[in-house]
Amino acid sequence: MTTIAEEIPEIASYVAGEWHPGPRRSADTNPTHPKETVANTTLADAALARRAVEAARAAFPMWRATLATARGDFLRKAGDLLDARAEQIGRDLTREEGKTLDEAVREVRLGANIFRYYAVQALDPDGETYPSGRPNLFLYTKREPLGVVSVITPWNFPACIPAWKIAPALAFGNTVVWKPADLVPLTAVHIARAVLDAGLPSGVLNLVLGKGSEVGDTLVTHPDVAAVTFTGSNAVGRGLQAKAAASGKRVQLELGGKNPAIVLQDADLDFAAEQVARGAFLATGQKCTATSRVIVQRSVAAEIVDRLRAHAESWTVGDPLDPKTKIGPIVSSAQLDSVLRYLEQARRDGARAVAGGERAGGPLGDGYFVKPTVFVDVAPTNPIAREEIFGPVAAVLPVASYEDAVALANDTPYGLSASIFTNDLATAHRFAQDIRAGVVKVNQETSGIEYHVPFGGVKESSSGSREQGKAAREFFTESKTVYMNFPAPTARA
């Protein structure tokens, strides 16, 4: 692959064991330096997407019959290759997506760990035995793979989200057609190469680089696709769900969030502010679990605002390849425009930015940079308090009591992640019960998850299933119940 001084790579889809240039080319550009091309991509069309599904379907019987130990060996090797290539992949990830180099390399290493984790999970028990009410009857269940799984992943975590979908799908015997977001094709090719270089047989993993508007319907509605797993926006996800469900396909959605962090007056305010800032500003706020609502007990609201302002103003915004940089660019021009519209709308609706609130320019040139932003005087109906922004923006909302804080935190159609900062153990346990969220944090930022435990949201943040950990087996397999009768031997005369 490339560095800035090297030739720009030409990348393409991988289908049925071969790299297939598509009919159209697209430039993959750097959000830090938008005139810089990171890679030239040839985009797949619907015909190539159909070939990918057909290749996965043809490979399924062989992969299903492959011993679990062998599947685990492939995944373990893939994880080791990702680890060995983490610096190179992380650098290209930074150049095409914009997160800091440290964040990018750590994400690739997390993806490597996920592959190795599912290498072990492939050997976990795949069924249960049950007592029967009849003599000589042995009852048991076993879990079996679904078939072809379409994996559709977003641009904000282009290494670890594909890993936590592809690795369990393969571990449990499914074949995969993967469509990554079109903003991060080079990272996707890196991930695919690591898996393929581990020796994966032809057709088991197919990579489709293309626009969702051109290949999405094929990957969702093709009769040979058994299941679809998607992470992305609510609008796209719900539309996908309707199309897939119409033909009885299994669907897994992880969607948006409007994640609250509650800070009570008994909290360690310095620690709480630092954690909230991390959740709101790191990765430029481009996380579905990002902290976007800071619900603070009124008696300490001014102190929290002062501390958040200090973090926002002191954290360096700049080139994410520079080790001094803490906040990189927004991923694209379109996403930048969206964030700036939210900032302007917030001001029109009466909110006041005590830090940031505007595009970062000057020595940053024409990159897509936004200053870390803290808003106060925010009405609960203001769009920055209701809608997912996907930018480094925190809205501070003062409340009188714990009860008011939880009521406001739950007043959202989303329910992905939520946190509370308190030194009272009883309150912490009460919060874990009262909050409507799939992920609950106590004295920790809303972002950041571990791969061996279930992940997912409630309400409009999810379709109800869970990813990661042992929960992944529930989605990527189906249960078969077996009645094994052993008739009593006939008595001999």
Please report the pLDDT score of residue 491 as a whole number: 62
Domain that holds residue 373: 259-442
* pLDDT of 493 higher than 50: yes
Does residue 486 lie within any of the structural domains? no
Is 369 found in the same domain as 347? yes
Task: Tell me which of 107, 254, 388, 467 is the catalytic residue.
Answer: 254
18 labelled catalytic = no
Does residue 452 lie within any of the structural domains? no
Please report the pLDDT score of residue 62 as a whole number: 98
3-state secondary structure of 348: helix
Please report the pLDDT score of residue 455 as a whole number: 97
Mean pLDDT of the chain: 96
Interval 408-432: pLDDT, tens: 999 999 999 999 999 999 999 999 9
CA-angle at 385, arms to 379 and 390, nearest 5°: 150
2 — pLDDT class (breaks 50, 70, 90): very low
Is 325 found in the same domain as 209? no
pTM: 0.95
Is 208 found in the same domain as 180? yes
The fraction of the chain above a pLDDT of 90, given in percent, is 95
160 labelled catalytic = no
Please report the pLDDT score of residue 1 as a whole number: 37
Is 390 found in the same domain as 362? yes
6 — pLDDT class (breaks 50, 70, 90): low
Please report the pLDDT score of residue 487 as a whole number: 84
Is 292 found in the same domain as 218? no
Task: Tell me which of 54, 96, 214, 288 is the catalytic residue.
Answer: 288
Interval 129-163: pLDDT, tens: 999 999 999 999 999 999 999 999 999 999 999 99
Is 80 found in the same domain as 33? yes
Interval 431-484: pLDDT, tens: 999 999 999 999 999 999 999 999 999 999 999 999 999 999 999 999 999 999
Does residue 449 lie within any of the structural domains? no
Does residue 118 lie within any of the structural domains? yes
Q: What is the mean pLDDT of residues 249-272?
A: 97
* pLDDT of 64 higher than 90: yes
Q: What is the mean pLDDT of residues 322-340?
A: 97
How far is residue 186 from each of residues 89, 193, 305, measured CA to CA in Å? 9, 11, 39
7 — pLDDT class (breaks 50, 70, 90): confident
Please report the pLDDT score of residue 4 as a whole number: 45
Q: What is the mean pLDDT of residues 73-93?
A: 98
Q: What one-character-per-residue DSSP string does 201-239 give? A: PTTSEEE--S-HHHHHHHHHH-TTEEEEEEES-HHHHHH
102 — pLDDT class (breaks 50, 70, 90): very high
Please report the pLDDT score of residue 492 as a whole number: 65
CATH of the domain at 187: 3.40.605.10
Is 75 found in the same domain as 198? yes
Choice among 298-302, 345-349, 365-369, 477-481 with the minimum mean pLDDT = 365-369
Please count the structural domains in the chain: 2
Interval 372-393: pLDDT, tens: 999 999 999 999 999 999 999 9
The fraction of the chain above a pLDDT of 70, given in percent, is 98
Does residue 1 lie within any of the structural domains? no
23 — pLDDT class (breaks 50, 70, 90): confident
Interval 38-49: pLDDT, tens: 999 999 999 999
Is 269 found in the same domain as 235? no
174 — pLDDT class (breaks 50, 70, 90): very high
* pLDDT of 3 higher than 50: no
